[in-house]
Chain A
């Protein structure tokens, strides 16, 4: 297991480095001058008073006067130490700013993950009982609708229905933990179909496996067969999908947070984009990559733990 863990970590590192490099290239390929933006941001949009000397001083402070390989290596070194640069707007470290908003996004993402897991696994299991039957068709239709509905429309419909139409949710009042329900439901629902389909398919596959026939011919109780012999191996691909969807969730969070004014990372990213606060944009991209890589890693390790055959790659 240790060796497997080390191999997995070794595979994750190049992806991280590639993402760090990509974000460096993106920022430097962007057709805008950070110094001009910083003076604009600091002085409320006007660049009056930014003399050539001041600009050069700032350019030097940011290290923009050095050659780009030099800039690249110092960027990689700083990122490795968790230093994501300084926000143009607040002049505070991006890592700190993002850390402050992390809990809101994390709680939203985890609640959505629970919604996704319960609905995905539940509906998948329901559909797999009688493939081609009525329930299978209904769940298939639900999946088709959920996969086609844009999150930004579903969220607004939820908001209108529950806040305006039914008046169940108070969106204007003080912050309150129950307000997580609608955004988490929106995010979880649109991400349900893949989990549902994969779990359904792998459950059906497992049902026809030899060890299930043996279990059935021994006269084991149906519940034991389903949970121990069918569901346990069938859940592996579904777990993979749940792990991979962590990154998609961060993307979806940008939209959902903006609809529900949820004070998380996604909303912070959008505000930063409008203010052209590029270090934050860059930091967000790195954070997302990091989350995806960690998510994949956790899934792989979990697989190795659940299925010893996978430990030898």
Chain B
């Protein structure tokens, strides 16, 4: 047969390993990358002309980052690499892309589409989070990694999850002033959480070492806090953070920047557009594309790997990317792909099972504090894009009878702004569910729409 047409979206750990597996099998994939350089977010590469070493940039993960970058460099002549390109829609057997600066569009026919779209920070609104100087944790890390900048001269990090500690430690090491680290999760994980975390004991130890380094560096570390508000002015932006501590006392921290994040949410828009089925994941309380052990979705020819489908982290993404690519080749009856798949499937799925055990531990230890969404005061902004408040969203439930998030979106515009719901959808679902007194899985999820990010109206697709 002729070589199958395979398109990979994303060049983070999953996308790079998927592309590499395809090349090994003798296939030349098209690789779509929204970034200017490969690496994705976690192994994001600094621009040409920057001189910091991999060890400085990626710490304990330097060797993995280096390997991923050099392996991708080695693939460059054997793939059709398209950086600065957005995959904005999927139709039957076709992926639609547009180049960021030239506006050039393409409709790519595929036999297999391997989506490695990654994740963004998962955000819980805090009153005042719409002020200048509030950033996602990922943003704080990108400022440092890709631009050698801190987001402010005195920074508070608040939220929960491994990234909270990692970014704070990276800031401290780079010479930034970290005023406080405020975790909404308790200091001691439950037994169930620990059992999960012990799937990767070395990673657990590394996490504990991070916490110790922060304490040693003089960072105020607080657990089990309830965020009350982010103080500041409309003109000047952020000036402080106020939380309630575990004993019920109010604590205020002065700062000029806040990094916020509660672990990650998957970028699932392409799954929606490809009409893939979704399933509710009760531990993390988010909807994810339903995939089998190898990354196959419910839509034939469409595969998912990495944090865009399961939040397994970078190591899990590398294994999932390779496995999804090999499964795709197996499914199109590609001889070399079939034999690689047969040889590696068992080991790769075993690796992913270990990663998933650890993921469950993380989700339990750093839980999504959904009750905070339900408790948000009515005047708190939920949609940053258009400054829509929790009160307006609740009105769509109480007065307009919205018990489903897409309906609530139509009435309140929460989820309709420029970020297309990326930073409000999860909290909005919790607010609607609490107001309607139904479990969050019953209020549904905001459907992804094309284009998955805003396009210029002048963008034209030619046949």
Q: Are A and B interaction partners?
A: no
Give residues in A with beta carbon < 8 Å to B. none
Residues of B within 8 A of A (CB): none
